[in-house]
Amino acid sequence: MSYILPYFARLGLGQDAPASDIRRAYARELKLIDQEHDAAGFQQLRQAYEMSMQWARHQASAAVPAEVAQFDVESVPVTLGKAVPPVAPAAALFPKRTQSQVDPHALASAVFAAFVREFNAMLQGAIVPDLPLCAAVLARALDDPALLHIGARRLFEGRVAHLLAAGWKPGHEILLVAAVKAFAWRDDRRLLCAFGEDGARLSQAIDERTMFDTLPIVELMELGQVVARLRVAAPPDIGVLAHGMRHVALLEARFPMWLELVTDVGNIPRWRELDEQIPGWRRMLVFERKAKPVAPSRDSEGGLGFGGWMVAVLIINMIRLALQYAS
């Protein structure tokens, strides 16, 4: 049995396989690997692919057709008194390739542009941004044959990292979750180190989100509601504002980077300004209503509600004090 190079064996090919067969075999094997949980297997497959492609390119550049190799240039016959132009040397016909002629930057840019278009179309067509749908859009981009080039794939990953690290835009809160899983950023932070400041920001945000997830469920839900409400440009009502500002300080102190990447932190100064304008008596009524909510049926039947009764009690007490002083 003839010997087969290990990297060709990993792809299930013979070492005479052309580049087209190598690409198809790599795409087939890639679908069988869980990149999130088998990073070593993925790296071995990538190495097998790269080594096989280098071998195929070398074989193609070294191969010279027999008829060219046996052709004697000096024995060119004379036809009608004119010599037939000499044949170009074999080296000129088959130049040796010292590096890939594929531009990985162009490949990554093309795939990234298509991904952004599909991602934005998904946001416009969906009533609520959906994580599975977002993950599917990202997966389709990663399955693009252009990203079989390992350099192009890393460049595409870097573009996604830069997009997320630049700050929140609508839909980025779900794209961040999808990207962390697709690129295994949580499991291997070395993958983020190559992206410089963008990678450092993402790594910090991942750590903060991990800490956020350890909070008690009640606090987790309250803070999550505030984060979601900050994405809305319209100012909140007094109740939401007064209660929300109590949580904003904690979010800014403990989860600043994650907050910047998943919501509109530009709304925080506007919320703070509106919060300072709430009168003290109105703030007191809001907090009392939050602590002791009124049953909806009372208000719907035409009752005063808790806030109305509080105002009535204050007026009655003021009248009593006025009568006492008058007497």
157 residue type, one letter: E
Asked if 184 contacts 36 with a C-beta cutoff of 8 angstroms, the reply is yes
- Across the chain, what does the average pLDDT equal? 77
In terms of average pLDDT, the best of 11-15, 27-31, 226-230 is 226-230
- Give the pLDDT band of residue 6 (cuts 50, 70, 90): confident
Percent of the chain with pLDDT over 70: 71
- The H or E element spanning position 238 is helix 238-254
For the record, the structure tokens of 300 come out as 């719907």
| Same domain (yes/no): 275, 223 | yes
What b/e readout covers 161-192, taking b as 16+ CB neighbours within 10 angstroms?
A: bbbbbeebeebbbbbbebbbbbbbbbeeeebb
The dihedral over CA atoms of 121, 125, 128, 130, expressed in degrees to the nearest 10, equals -60
Alpha carbon 203 to its chain's center:
13
pLDDT 10s digits, 22-58:
888 888 888 888 776 777 788 788 878 888 887 887 7
**pLDDT of 145 over the 60 cut:** yes
For the record, the structure tokens of 51 come out as 């080594």
Residue 310, domain member (yes or no): yes
| Same domain (yes/no): 265, 228 | yes
| Same domain (yes/no): 225, 288 | yes
d(CA 208, CA 258): 6
> In the chain, what's the furthest Cα-to-Cα distance?
141
Domain count, the chain: 2
Residue 27, domain member (yes or no): no
For the record, the structure tokens of 218 come out as 């009640």
Q: What is the pTM of this model?
A: 0.58
| Same domain (yes/no): 289, 299 | no
In terms of average pLDDT, the best of 50-59, 132-141, 308-317 is 132-141
Residue 272, domain member (yes or no): yes
For the record, the structure tokens of 234 come out as 């319209």
Residue 205, domain member (yes or no): no
Q: With 0-12 CB in 10 A as exposed, 13-18 as middle and 19+ as buried, what is 229? A: middle
Residue showing tokens 């949980």: 37
Residue 125, domain member (yes or no): no
For the record, the structure tokens of 171 come out as 């839909």
At residue 17, the pLDDT reads: 87
Q: Would you say how long the chain is, in residues?
A: 327
**pLDDT of 62 over the 70 cut:** no
d(CA 19, CA 144): 17
The dihedral over CA atoms of 112, 118, 122, 125, expressed in degrees to the nearest 10, equals 150
Strand partners, 177: none
Residue 244, domain member (yes or no): yes
pLDDT 10s digits, 264-274:
999 999 998 98
Residue 320, domain member (yes or no): yes
- The H or E element spanning position 79 is strand 78-79
For the record, the structure tokens of 315 come out as 């007026």
For the record, the structure tokens of 271 come out as 């919320």
Residue 138, domain member (yes or no): no
- The H or E element spanning position 298 is helix 296-300
At residue 90, the pLDDT reads: 36
Provide the residue range defining the domain that includes 299: 295-327
